[in-house]
Amino acid sequence: MKRAGRLLDTRSLTARFTFFVVTLTVVSGLTLGGLLGYGSMRDDVNEQYANANQRLDFIQEPARFALYQLDTETVDVLLQGFQQGPAYQRIDLINDQGQNVGHVRHQPTPPALLTPLIKRLFFSNLPALREQRLYYTSPFNPEKSVFVGHLEAEFDLNRMINTATATLFDTFWATCIQALVLGILVAVVFYAAVGRPLQAITRTISRHAREGNPFATLDLAVSGFELKQLVRHYNKHAHRGERYFNELTDANRVLDEQARRDPLTLDYNRRELIKRLKALLGGTEPKPPLALVIWDIDGFAQTNDRYGQDIGDAALREVSAHLRRHFSDAAPLYRLQADTFAMHIDLEHTRDGQAADDAPLQQPLAETLSVETTLEADKSSSTIELTLSAGIALSPDHATTPESLLRAAQLGLANAKHGGKQCLRSYSPDADDRQKRKVAALVLLKERLADGNFTLAYQPKVCLRDGSLKGCEALFRLDTQASAAPWELLQEAEATGLIVPLGFEIIRRALMEFAPLLPRLGDDFRLGINISPQQLVEPDFHHQLQQLLQHYRFPPEHLDLEITEATPLINNHAFNDNHRRLRDIGVSFSLDDFGTGYASIEYLLFIGFDFLKIDRQFVKHLPDDANSLRVCRAVLLLARELGCHTVIEGIETPEQEALMQQHQATLGQGFLYARPLGLTDFIDYLAASEGPTA
């Protein structure tokens, strides 16, 4: 009985002492935790807010460029990273026309119990809405910025404060845990029996750690409420940790697979191709011959423009399935770019020991170059016949490293593209030389654009009825020592976007040179200048052109803009606005090379033209070719029905001129009248044409 009394007294004393220590620790911890928690909460909210603003700052430059280029795909890619950013309730990218070209939406976070009070007391100075106007500065004219739209973002302040408040309460909870641990330690001093279970727990956890089993539970029989709670919570934490570890492992496996594959077609990506080629070509031992094939869809951009993005994506998936069906036993298929696929195929040695060539692959590859399918998207279907071009490179014949083999295959593809649609070509030094010429042409183009060291030639347009001079066409020319032809330079300018500044420089040069000659020319004389579709979709093209016309005092009715067919112009808002405004002030438009594009009739339906220029390929075989004559007659009849004048290109003989006069063509252009002339020679030509009328 006395012993029991002593135990009771001891237990009572320990309980009182433990309660005192715990109470003192909790009060001190809560006080200190409150002070530290407030600072932590304030810093946490401000840091979240600053990070949210900084992320928006990071996308401003690419967003300006994307809005300037009207590139909704790039906008989608820029905003994709914000889909997992719950710091925003919404993000909107709005172009200069007021159209929402990309947005992110999140459900607003409901405020916690104390969130409104905390927001009012401590964070009332944080604005929830940010609006940023975006201007694009051209690298070619850094003094001029173009307004391309604005960025709107609404921050989720409730979430930031909720998170920071949770951190504050975590601090309080940690303080309570510390107080509880301190109380247990105090109890250990007075209760030797508590030390033994704690030591057993420690040994068990240590053994699990040594055995590499961090999520094993504690199977111990302990007494005392605190120790039972400790064992129970530890086991619960172990179960949760094991479940989280398994989920994290599965998630990492999924992410790793996604990082290796294209999300649209589920083919492997370029990084995986390089990795696989390194494994196949690496090492010092002899490797079996290998063929790398690259396919590219011919005219895929036009397919996207004509049928829409959904049909374009469906076409990519169909092409991927088509290639995998033809090479079911070969290596995996890789998607390198938007419309480019690749596959590496093992080749066998020939009997004499030499590396095998790609002859056995020619027939199977030729069968892959045509895909006809019916594609469905947005409750509509379209039957599309797609053609592919392919390039082949062999290892070790053409290259021995992954990068060089890939480049050799790309040069083979470039060779195939150079040969036209649905072509199959192997790597050849000629393709490499052609690529080097393209690079040299691009370098030359940039140099000439920077220093303005180029000239313009002018080819007269003559009235077929009376032989009078009615106009001329300005043609881009370089000096005779240039390594690339003018059409090659213009082609590279079109592909790289340099055609926009170059086109404006050509217009400026032509207006400057011809403005003094206008008093000597008739009222119906028109200076024709070729214009790129990329210029015509510039939102302020009409304004810049009007400024040039005013600066050089060049009447708009003497200017004719010649357009080559290009699908992006149809139903393009910026082009329609430029076209309407320029025609209103008197500028005329010509459809150049009529009959050579795939959308000629569609152009005549949607775009108004003053002149139709019949391409020289329909004229060069006249008068002997009956089919060419029928085409010319049909186009001339079509032009009369539409109220358009006609310009016949490539007239070189009097017989061709007489034939076009007979069928009531309006103007003629060709070597019969004059070759393209420099400005001085054109002035002499003008003086000679004025002679008989003087």
Q: What is the rounded CA–CA span in Å between residue 517 and residue 179? A: 97
pLDDT (tens digit per residue) in 615-635: 888 888 888 888 888 888 888
> How confident is the model at residue 473, as a pLDDT?
92
Please give the Cα distance from 269 to 263 (Å, whole number): 9
Residues facing 341 on adjacent strands: 295, 335
Residue 75 within a domain: yes
Residue 534 located in a structural domain: yes
CA dihedral 293, 299, 301, 304 (to 10 degrees): -100
Give me the residues of the chain with pLDDT under 50, please: 1-14, 191, 349-355, 598-599, 693-694
pLDDT of residue 393: 84
Sign of CA dihedral 455, 461, 467, 470: negative
C-alpha 372/C-alpha 365 separation (Å) is 16
CATH at 558: 3.20.20.450
Closest CA to 335 of 384, 268, 388: 268
Same domain for 131 and 247? no
SS3 sequence of 593-654: EECCCCCHHHHHHHCCCCEEEECHHHCCCCCCCHHHHHHHHHHHHHHHHHCCEEEEECCCCH
Q: Are residues 539 and 667 in the same domain?
A: yes
- Report the first-to-last Cα separation within the chain, whole angstroms: 146
Q: Indicate the residue among 260, 295, 319 that finishes a domain.
A: 260
Residues 195 and 165 in one domain: no
Q: What are phi and psi of 386, to 5 degrees?
A: -100, 145
Q: Do 479 and 576 fall within a single domain?
A: yes
Q: Which of 225, 260, 295 is the last residue of a domain?
A: 260
Task: Answer with the one of 412, 427, 442 that is the final residue of a domain.
Answer: 427
Residues 228 and 372 in one domain: no
Distance (Å, whole) CA 473 – CA 510 = 10
Asked if the structure places residue 227 within a domain, the reply is yes
Position 547 scores a pLDDT of 92
**CA–CA separation, 237 and 593 (whole Å):** 76
CA distances (Å), 516 to each of 511, 552, 624, in order?
Answer: 9, 9, 43
Residue 526 lies in a domain: yes
Angle at 117 between CA 112 and CA 118, to 5 degrees: 80
Q: 49 and 30, same structural domain?
A: yes
Determine, yes or no, domain membership for 466: yes
Quick one: 422 and 481 in the same domain? no
Tell me how far CA of residue 468 lies from CA of 162, 460, 472, 651, 685, in angstroms: 82, 10, 12, 15, 12
Say whether 396 sits in a helix, a strand or coil: coil
User: Do residues 146 and 47 share a domain?
Assistant: yes
Give CA 491 to chain center in angstroms: 21
Which structural domain, as residue segments, surrounds residue 352?
270-427
Q: Per the structure, how many domains does the chain have? A: 4
Residue 525 shares a structural domain with residue 574: yes
Domain assignment present for 448:
no
Q: Are 248 and 311 contained in the same domain?
A: no
Per residue in 204-249, pLDDT tens? 777 777 777 777 777 777 766 777 777 777 778 877 877 777 777 7
Residues 6+ apart with CB under 8 A from 604: 591, 638, 642
Taking residue 689's Cβ as centre, other Cβ atoms within 10 Å add up to 17
Alpha-carbon separation of residue 323 from 255, 298, 319, 423, 427 (angstroms): 26, 15, 6, 16, 21
Do the domain assignments include residue 34? yes
Tell me, what's the pLDDT at 449? 66
Is the pTM higher than 0.85? The answer reads: no
Contact 315, 309 (CB under 8 A): no
- Whether residue 436 lies inside any domain: the answer is no
- Count of C-beta atoms within a 10 Å radius of residue 104: 18
The torsion region of residue 94 among left (phi > 0), alpha (psi -120 to 50) and beta comes to beta
Looking at the structure, do residues 391 and 282 belong to the same domain, yes or no? yes
Looking at the structure, tell me whether residues 280 and 315 fall in a common domain.
Answer: yes
Q: Which pair of tokens denotes residue 537?
A: 């979709």
Closest by CA to 406, choosing from 297, 293, 319, is: 293
Residue 351: predicted pLDDT = 36
d(C-alpha 587, C-alpha 361), whole Å: 55
SS3 sequence, 500-566?
HHHHHHHHHHHHHHHHHHHHHCCCCCEEEEEECHHHHCCCCHHHHHHHHHHHCCCCHHHEEEEEECC
